[in-house]
Chains A and B, each alone.
Chain A
């Protein structure tokens, strides 16, 4: 079993839709959870970061972590064409430097 699993998509939604992106992980030692956004032909950029169960909101973006289910989600409200990108979840153990990335979900928001 891979340490982080993520549906690769592609996911296509109309502008204004609510988008839900999800990852599951296998090791309960992971404590830090991140979402990165990667535009085509660019490097990933950090979007959201959390280290606790529950929700964290930043504008139109909400990151949700359920440690009991080993499940993390990213919700995008009022999606815009500029949100079209690949979204990668990433996880890290508390005491180690290594970050493990999911394979990414490709999202297209259609005007």
Chain B
């Protein structure tokens, strides 16, 4: 039982490049989330998916897209990375409460 896994752990992008952050959970949870965490800002919700086939915007969705591929997987895509997207990205899944993955540290230069 791995819980919530995220890949990659680290990534450096140049401005304008695209990439997809992958997240998978093996706890059979319906809800999945993507957050970013910046110093002094706490965790901010980017997108969430209450169930397979549905996605909704969170607090800071601009510049991101998501795909709920199936019940297990929820990916986050940056189409054209900007330095303002330098952050630590966490995926989470939830039954009664949220369980977080280990995070992806993204730097955009």
Contacts and interface: CB of A to CB of B under 8 A. Distances in A.
A102 B97 CA distance: 16
A45 B100 contact: yes
A34 B30 CA distance: 20
Secondary structure class of chain B's binding surface, majority of residues: strand
Contacts, number: 43
Interface string B40-75: 111101001010000000100000000000000000
B42 A43 contact: no
A97 B43 CA distance: 15
A97 B31 contact: yes
Given A43-B90, A44-B90, A99 B42 contact: no
B98 interface: yes
Interface residues of B, number: 22
A104 B40 CA distance: 8
A46 B42 contact: no
A97 B48 contact: yes
B90 A104 contact: no
A8 to B, nearest CB: 6
Chain A interface residue bracket vs B: 10 to 19
Interface of B: 4, 31, 35, 40-43, 45, 48, 50, 58, 90, 92, 94, 96-103
20 contacts: A6-B42, A34-B97, A41-B103, A42-B102, A42-B103, A43-B4, A43-B90, A43-B101, A44-B100, A45-B99, A49-B97, A88-B42, A97-B50, A98-B48, A98-B58, A99-B98, A101-B42, A102-B42, A103-B41, A104-B42
Interface of A: 6, 8, 34, 41-46, 49, 88, 97-99, 101-104
